[in-house]
Amino acid sequence: MAEIIFVAEAMERALALLEGGDVVAIPTETVYGLAGDATNGIGVARIFEAKGRPRFNPLIAHVADMAMAERIALFDPLSRKLAETFWPGPLTLVLPQRPGNGIHPLVTAGLDTIALRMPRGFGGDLIARLGRPLAAPSANSSGRISATTAQAVFGDLGGRIRLVVDGGATPVGLESTIVKIEGSRVRLLRPGGIAVGEIELALGKTLLRGAAAGIEAPGMLASHYAPGAAVRLNAHAVDLGEALLAFGSRRAAGWEHAVALSNLSESGDLREAASNLFAYMQDLDRSGASTIAVEPIPFEGLGEAINDRLSRAAAPRDNIVSET
């Protein structure tokens, strides 16, 4: 079983495991990540194994600073501007790889691009101490909701890994926004912890949307982030036997009969809602309800990413091809 160690005491143990080609679950500002040394094929393979990821999808390489980022990928003025504005933080940039960067090909699934992110807090400190980038997908087993607490990681992966570093609940609560640089344009691959509007403001132009060719990010597949219970969106009334995931101050009709009720944000704050989303879905799932009814959530700001995750959780389950 995994040990859980608080961030303040975890550094040396985490470093020793990573140096030995093992994986460690770490807090980031978005969600918990299952980290391995991105230059070590054994470490990277262990990530896929622990998650039970059905096929090798590319991982995000996490860096400590710009110098490390520039050794791995090729930046241009546009990507440098995004990095300067949003790093460290919940933005992932898909960039051309710098040849000979030492990143194990399993990280990028053989692509000539690489997804890069500079996380805040313990993750950044750990990467700086290790001196090498960390590959890290969300620390959840395949097809499950991303973990936003050390306890959620432990409950899911505790039997398969040796260390969970406990940094408390992750502040953002949603995975990073992923964008790909395509010449003079930038394409949104996955909405996430930074609202699209903020990125467009920094760039002074709108983002391209939709995959350029086929599925580029498995997070774009329809069924994803699936809890055990069925999920019903835009609920204006609660049906018999349902749990209710609420938002704001006005309740869906019949709310008092809900098997369980959690409110993402009483005050209607989308940041607060994002940070509560995965933990509350797990709570409601544990209530034993057959279905989680979800009240309407506005699409503005972080509401886009919240609705994205909810619609994947609600999608039919028979088309699970893969997940992140």
Binding interface with Mg ion (CB under 5 A):
138, 324
- The rounded Cα 201 to chain-centroid distance in angstroms is 23
Please tell me the distance from the alpha carbon of residue 70 to that of residue 98, in angstroms, as a whole number: 8
Beta-carbon count within 10 A of 210 CB: 9
Q: Which CB, 194 or 238, lies closer to ligand TXA?
A: 194
Between 167 and 218, CB nearer to ligand TXA: 218
- Residue 315's binding partner out of ligand TXA, Mg ion, none, with CB under 5 to 8 Å set by partner kind: none
The one of ligand TXA, Mg ion, none whose footprint includes residue 218, by CB under 5 to 8 A per kind, is ligand TXA
Least CB distance to Mg ion at residue 62 (A): 14
Write the Ramachandran bin of 242: left for phi over 0, alpha for psi from -120 to 50, otherwise beta: beta
Q: Which is nearer to ligand TXA, 40 or 146 (CB)?
A: 146
Q: How far is the CB of 205 from ligand TXA (least distance, A)?
A: 21
Residue 111 interaction partner, one of Mg ion, ligand TXA, none, beta carbon < 5-8 Å per kind = ligand TXA
| Of residues 22 and 295, the one with the C-beta less far from ligand TXA | 22
Write down the least CB distance from residue 94 to ligand TXA, Å. 4
> What separation, in Å, do the N-terminal and C-terminal C-alpha atoms of the chain show?
23
Q: CA-to-CA distance for 20 and 15, rounded, in angstroms? A: 9
The CB-of-324 to Mg ion minimum distance in angstroms stands at: 3
Residues that bind ligand TXA (CB under 6 A): 28, 30-31, 33, 57-60, 90, 92, 94, 108, 111, 113-115, 117, 136-138, 175-176, 178, 189, 216-219, 324
For ligand TXA, the closer CB: 116 or 231: 116
Q: Which of 237, 247, 248, 232 is nearest to 289 (CA)?
A: 232
Q: Where are the alpha helices (DSSP H) in 52-193?
A: 66-72, 77-86, 105-108, 122-130, 150-157
Which 3 state secondary structure label does DSSP give 139? coil
State which H helix or E strand residue 5 sits in.
strand 3-6
Nearest distance from C-beta of residue 146 to Mg ion, angstroms: 5
